């Protein structure tokens, strides 16, 4: 089944404790992206990747890192999480940027205390 | 910067009522247009998309949207909503002059009363 898999679904952590949210897609998509969803703000793009080893900042990249060493994986790293990063995070992928619909993962609800 | 606006933040309807959700985008030349739906506790799913051709696009579950280029709008419609349509709806626009970057609107929460 074609899908985007994110883990974990829920994560509670403390300020400053490094964490990684994994994202994997099995559709051989070139484009992958991370979004955060906050009430009243819609989805805001954190980072995106056009292909392996090609990543770029989205609209709200501060406090986040990503890597794209393989086509299928696009982990999101929070080196030193802060409470303002408490949010719902979605990973998404598409065949081509802009022209193809995005396929979304199930989301990761992160709480930073 | 390019932007996408959804003017209705929360819409409450009774079953069988007609629905129209507004979506406008800033001028940016050629665009691709999408509507996504997020049911409670779930991820976003594609409802419909417009790339070119007939500006009236039909999607899943009886939804349709009309692209009006002169108004920079892509409003979502459904003639008769059901309780199961309760969800949050996001308009998204991909701007060619920004390398296809996809920008989402703020979302519209739809509540349908049985």
- B9 vs A: CB within 8 A: yes
Residue B96 has pLDDT above 80, yes or no: no
User: What average pLDDT does the segment B96-104 reach?
Assistant: 78
Site of tokens 């303002």: A84
Residue B97 CB coordination number (10 Å): 12
pLDDT tens digits, A6-20: 999 999 999 999 999
pLDDT for residue B6: 94
pLDDT for residue A31: 92
pLDDT tens digits, B57-67: 999 999 999 99
A2 pLDDT tier (thresholds 50, 70, 90): confident
d(CA B37, CA B33): 14
Task: With CB atoms and an 8 Å threshold, state whether A97 touches B94.
Answer: yes
pLDDT tens digits, A54-97: 999 999 999 999 999 999 999 999 999 999 999 999 999 998 77
End-to-end CA distance of chain A: 36
pLDDT for residue B2: 81
Residue B101 has pLDDT above 80, yes or no: no
pLDDT tens digits, B8-40: 899 999 999 999 999 999 976 888 999 999 999
pLDDT for residue B102: 84
Please answer whether residues B104 and B3 qualify as being in contact, where contact means their C-beta atoms are separated by less than 8 angstroms. no
d(CA B101, CA B31): 10
Residue B18 CB coordination number (10 Å): 10
Task: With CB atoms and an 8 Å threshold, state whether A98 touches B99.
Answer: yes
Residue B100 has pLDDT above 80, yes or no: no
Residue B52 sits at the vertex; the CA angle it makes with B72 and B59, to the nearest 5 degrees, is 85
Q: Which residue of B90, B101, B109 is the best one to mutate when testing the A interface, meaning the one whose CB has the most A CBs within 10 A? A: B101
d(CA A92, CA A102): 6
A39 pLDDT tier (thresholds 50, 70, 90): confident
Task: With CB atoms and an 8 Å threshold, state whether A42 touches B32.
Answer: no
Residues in chain A within 8 Å Cβ distance of B30: none
Question: From start to end of chain A, where are the E strands?
Answer: 4-7, 10-13, 19-25, 31-38, 42-51, 54-57, 65-66, 76-78, 87-94, 103-104, 108-112
Please tell me what DSSP assigns to residue A62. T
Mean pLDDT for all residues in chain B: 92
Residue A28 has pLDDT above 80, yes or no: yes
């Amino acid at each position: 089944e074609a899908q985007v898999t994110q883990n974990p679904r829920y994560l509670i952590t403390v300020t400053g404790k490094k964490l990684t949210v994994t994202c994997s897609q099995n559709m051989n998509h070139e484009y992958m992206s991370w979004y955060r969803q906050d009430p009243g703000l819609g989805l805001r793009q954190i980072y995106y990747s056009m292909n392996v080893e090609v990543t770029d900042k989205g609209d709200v990249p501060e406090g986040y890192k990503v890597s794209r060493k393989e086509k299928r994986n696009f982990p999101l790293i929070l080196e030193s999480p802060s409470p303002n990063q408490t949010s719902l995070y979605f990973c998404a992928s598409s065949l081509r940027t802009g022209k193809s619909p995005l396929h979304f993962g199930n989301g990761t609800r992160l709480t930073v205390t | 910067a390019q932007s996408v606006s959804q003017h209705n933040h929360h819409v409450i309807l009774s079953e069988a009522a007609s629905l129209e959700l507004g979506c406008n985008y800033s001028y940016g030349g050629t665009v691709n247009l999408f509507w996504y739906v997020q049911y409670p506790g779930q991820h976003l799913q594609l409802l419909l998309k417009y790339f070119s051709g007939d500006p009236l696009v039909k999607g899943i579950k009886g939804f349709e949207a009309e692209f009006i280029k002169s108004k920079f709008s892509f409003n979502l419609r459904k003639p008769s909503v059901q309780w199961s349509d309760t969800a949050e709806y996001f308009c998204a626009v991909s701007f060619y002059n920004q390398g296809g970057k996809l920008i989402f609107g703020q979302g519209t929460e739809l509540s349908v009363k049985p």
